[in-house]
């Protein structure tokens, strides 16, 4: 039996061209195509393809969410992204929910064919551009982990965390005091403690640091 392939792309013309190219290969069998994310999930469940070629820009259900639902089916389908471009963190998100490769549409058909056969052999596939993007994302992730570690080590109290969140929202000391039912003097006291714990010298530095880490992840003492 050939490699069973399902195609998911919003544009009819793209699907037709891709089907024609794939069916010309003796070891490939196209078992269906769709441009609709919700229909894609149903088709994967029914037809159980070996390979899913997917552009994330699908109708009704975005591709990453479709991949999450497909992963819940616990089938042996191996998704390959076929994007024009990808946002900064989409490669990592796709890999987390089960994608096995990325082949950009501007790459050659021979590259696509090779990626399919490589992935069917149990490997992953990323183009040079995809590898570069993945490395950039991993570097960014490593920087975020370092920031989170720094915050955990500093250990903000629950009260101080709320103050940080308020500062990120652009609130003044007076507004923070009213919201927390404390005096402005108490808010200033907590700010001094927060600045010291976080190693910053003022509100702007604190806001920038907090944005890099997400205030909802700040530790609670």
What pLDDT does 220 receive? Answer: 43
Cβ neighbour number for residue 201 with a 10 Å cutoff: 9
Share of the chain above pLDDT 70, in %: 80
pLDDT at 211: 60
pLDDT of residue 216: 43
Residue-range domains of the chain with CATH:
3-131 (3.40.50.2300), 155-217 (1.10.10.10)
Average pLDDT, the chain: 83
pLDDT above 60: residue 151: no
**Residues with Cβ within 8 Å of residue 37, at least 6 apart in sequence:** 8, 58, 59, 60, 61, 62, 63, 65, 66
Query: Coil, strand or helix: which one is 102?
Result: strand
pLDDT digits (tens, 9 = 90+) for 160-208: 878 888 887 778 889 888 888 888 888 888 888 888 877 777 877 777 7
Residue 91 scores a pLDDT above 70: yes
pLDDT, average across residues 33-37: 96
74 φψ region: left (φ > 0), alpha (ψ -120 to 50), beta (else): left
Give yes or no for a contact between 45 and 75, defined as CB atoms under 8 angstroms apart: yes
Percentage of residues in the chain having pLDDT higher than 90: 44
Q: Which residue has the tokens 């994310």?
A: 37
The residue whose two tokens read 């389908």 is: 77
Helix (H) or strand (E) holding 180: helix 173-180
Query: What is the model's pTM?
Result: 0.62
Angle at 195 (CA atoms; ends 155, 141), nearest 5 degrees: 60
Q: pLDDT, tens digit, for every residue of 199-217?
A: 777 877 777 766 655 444 4
* 3-state SS class at 201: coil
Per-residue pLDDT, 133: 66
């Amino acid at each position: 039996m050939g490699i069973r392939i399902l195609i998911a792309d919003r544009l009819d013309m793209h699907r037709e061209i891709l089907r024609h190219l794939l069916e010309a290969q003796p070891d490939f069998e196209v078992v269906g195509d769709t441009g609709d994310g919700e229909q894609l999930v149903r088709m994967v469940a029914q037809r159980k393809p070996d390979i899913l070629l997917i552009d994330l820009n699908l109708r009704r259900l975005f591709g990453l969410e479709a991949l999450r639902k497909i992963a819940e089916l616990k089938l042996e389908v191996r998704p390959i992204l076929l994007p024009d471009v990808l946002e900064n963190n989409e490669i990592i998100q796709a890999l987390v929910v089960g994608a096995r490769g990325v082949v950009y549409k501007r790459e050659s058909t021979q590259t696509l064919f090779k990626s399919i056969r490589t992935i069917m052999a149990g490997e992953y596939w990323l183009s040079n551009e995809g590898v570069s993007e993945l490395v950039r994302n991993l570097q960014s992730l490593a920087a975020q982990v370092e920031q989170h570690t720094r915050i955990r080590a500093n250990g903000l109290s629950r009260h101080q965390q709320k103050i940080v969140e308020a500062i990120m929202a652009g609130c003044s000391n007076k507004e923070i005091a009213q919201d927390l039912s404390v005096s402005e003097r108490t808010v200033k006291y907590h700010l001094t403690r927060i600045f010291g714990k976080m190693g910053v010298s003022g509100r702007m530095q604190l806001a920038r640091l907090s944005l890099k880490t997400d205030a909802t992840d700040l530790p609670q003492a």
